[in-house]
A and B are shown apart, each in its own frame.
Chain A
Amino acid sequence: MEPLLNVQKLTMDFGGIRAIDRLDVQVHAGQIVALIGPNGAGKTTFFNCITGIYKPTAGHILLQPPGKKQKRLNGLKPNKVTEQGLARTFQNIRLFPNMTVLENVMIGMHCRTNAKIFGAIFRNPQTRKEEQYIVDHSYSILKKVRLQTFANEYAKNLPYGAQRRLEIARALATDPFMLLLDEPAAGMNPQETLELDNLITQIRDEGLAILLIEHDMKLVMSISDYIFVVDYGKKIAEGTPEEIAQNPAVIKAYLGEDVEHA
């Protein structure tokens, strides 16, 4: 079966520095795929290339939306990428702090709705219906991530773990078929991580593919179906969690070279 996301020989240069070096990544429908690697390996850069924040130097990013024609994402603006059905969260939380939790999610639905200026001023029945739909649907998404009690709270007042969950809710509101999560468990305590584990699996079971950057190995090993390991912008390994756990190249990248072999 054709993968949903097929990244071929993706390369990204910043001046003389090659942040990503001919990276190949495939994500299939219904999978949770993890992208791991040491700090500075180029994982977030990879996300930024796919979602249009950076324009990759070379390579192909091919997206296969279910039931639609294949689309090349290179050079598309971030909002166009989101419109294709690819939503993301950020490593350093980027919510809209002075808007309410519900409004944050409502923003996510922007690209799936189309009220114009005149609709906003005259509030014709169509616009009102759409507004109502936005509120209701956003609220149901909030319920999914169990933030409904905070709906009218400012986003900046939420506890850390809840802010992370809100980022996921906001991404879900864009109605994606694939979710890119950039270190969703960063800074969470074990209890929160466990809840996140359940949430991600639940989202997968609803039919979304998930590409995940994560440092928490316990989480990665427990939920991923497939793992890519990156170091210095190059792919050094790929496989199922069991394969990766025993891969010498991965152990070397994470723990350093064994003294005896040096």
Chain B
Amino acid sequence: MLPLKDIRNGLMVAGWFVFLTFPLMVIKVNPVEKTIVWRWPNMLYVAAGSFIAYLYVKLAQKNKKAAILVACWTAYLALPLIRYFMYQDISILIWDTTTSIYAAVGAFHMILTLCLFHKHHILRKILSGIWLLFIGTPVVMLLAQAAGKILLPKIPAALHFLTPFIITIEHIQFWNWIRILWVALACYLLYSSLQTYLASKRNIMPDHLTNEPKIRWSQYLYKRPVYLPLLTFCSTFFLLFPHLFSTYQVNIMISALMYVVLGLGLNIVVGVAGLLDLGYVAFYAVGAYSYALLNMHFDLGFWVVLPIGGILGAFFGILLGIPVLRLRGDYLAIVTLGFGEIIRLVLENWNDFSQGPSGISNIDRPPLPGVDLSLEGSIVYMYYLTIVMVIFTIFVVNRLQDSRIGRAWFALREDEIACQAMGIDKMKTKLTAFALGATWAGMVGVLFAAKTTFVNPASFTFLESAIILCIVVLGGMGSIVGVIISALVLILMPEYLRAFSDYRMLVFGAVLVIMMVFKPRGLISSVRRTYTINDETL
């Protein structure tokens, strides 16, 4: 199956990875007891992991469908194993009568579909519909069960007769939908594998695979049948988030959402206008400190300072913009980097103004008029504020990009000289990009100060700028959806990788490198808007 060359290369890749990760993964020095522990099994894991990953990538390059199937099977088989090793839970693997019936139906249906799939167009559609039902039923039932468990206590007792999820002690109806879902998935996976195998045997692809023009996967996102349900699902998820998860999770999500706004703001400067800004965190600091100081000295409230923070951010954006107008690329990056550090150093050393490294504490949380919020309540309130902020940002940034000014920014990124020759004022366009980008950082800064109730210069180091820049670059320059996804991934991933605390930065770095190798244009590259013109009217 696999050529010898690939296996040889795979071995070399594995060796290289073992070499690279050796000091981290294998050697463990204990400075207290002055001993060195050699963790040889780790080396084996790294070797095997990188070897298999390499072979998998090779397979994916040759045969996408087979690669997807392999991934599905791996996930399918690995999940029960993980459950077993982590929780000693084997409930998925137990068979009972319902499961057996389900399996039999699945197998029968599979054979039927396989026999007919290349013949009858309409029949095939019906059969795929039944597949959907087959897998959809357990999914829906699982979701309903979960929703019932959460919602049931919140529904008044008088309305209980409306809900089908009442678990009374007398007639308990226990359906193990997870187990059935597992069987359904197995049937479906088996069916897909067999179909692919048969198709390759007959050397004909099923016609729904051949006739369609090749579409990048990211473009599927914008297609209506995918886009609308996905949007509904995401908005419901984010709206219900504080009720489904713990305060700790909500807190993490708030900071991730703040980075979404920061990413979208920097996206205007870097992604759209093409001005590499490494000091973006400075505007964030300006916003945070403006709330902290105005609140401390003048007792101004959150809602008053929010626009002030934005305006101050924009002001500093212009302040930075004016001297760097003539600079491009690397030179611009260096100057903005310096600017970011200047702001931080001023805040750190000008004790009378900013209380230096010890920072400012006891900043007011955003008040909800007429309600005295508990700590938990104010976190939830904060969460919704951030959500509103995110939606507002998406709305404005989207409209800006798709306007006369947005087009001028894009043109500036593409070719500065041609842009000027077409009558665009370079100075003005650059300054608006800097100012509008910085506005968001200023507003998120205010939000940040209100969330943590404490600011000090340590929150605004160059590392923050770098992370925000990472978000924009990984997400795909100029692409709003891409930036949102990458902000969530980049901020949430290190949080959830805390379980692997020793290696989480290693994984983080590896993900960045892999992304840059395989998708250098970002997760979702931006797609230009197309216009439909009614030719008759012209």
Contacts and interface: CB of A to CB of B under 8 A. Distances in A.
Interface of A: 51, 53, 77-79, 82-83, 87-88, 90, 94-100, 102-103, 106-108, 110-113, 115-117, 119-121, 123, 127, 130-131, 134-136, 139-140, 143, 148, 151-152, 154, 170-171, 173-174
B531 A120 contact: no
Contacts of A119: 403
Chain A interface mostly: helix
A51 B420 CA distance: 10
Given A99-B528, A103-B407, A120-B399, 9 more contacts: A94-B417, A96-B415, A107-B422, A108-B422, A108-B423, A111-B424, A112-B423, A115-B403, A123-B399
B2 interface: no
24 contacts: A77-B425, A79-B424, A82-B422, A87-B422, A94-B415, A95-B415, A95-B418, A96-B411, A97-B414, A98-B528, A99-B414, A100-B530, A102-B531, A103-B407, A110-B407, A111-B424, A112-B423, A113-B404, A135-B533, A139-B533, A151-B531, A152-B530, A171-B422, A174-B422
B506 interface: no
B432 interface: yes
Q: How large is the interface on B (under 10, 10 to 19, 20 to 34, 35 or more residues)?
A: 20 to 34
Contacts of B421: 51, 53, 78-79, 82, 87-88, 90, 94
Interface in B377-422: 396, 399-400, 403-408, 410-411, 414-415, 417-422
A113 B424 CA distance: 11
B417 A139 contact: no
A100 B407 CA distance: 11
Nearest to A90: B418
B179 interface: no
Contacts of B425: 77, 79
Interface of B: 396, 399-400, 403-408, 410-411, 414-415, 417-426, 432, 436, 528-531, 533, 535, 537-538
Given A100-B528, A102-B531, A120-B399, A111 B423 contact: yes
A161 to B, nearest CB: 19
A111 B528 contact: no
A224 B420 CA distance: 28
A53 B421 CA distance: 8
A90 B535 CA distance: 30
B400 A117 contact: yes
Contacts of A148: 535
A118 to B, nearest CB: 11
Residue of B415, B436, B533 ringed by the most chain A CB atoms within 10 A: B533
A117 B405 CA distance: 7
A134 B147 CA distance: 50
Contacts of B537: 136
A82 B411 CA distance: 16
Given A98-B528, A117-B405, A120-B405, A53 B423 contact: no
A173 B411 CA distance: 15
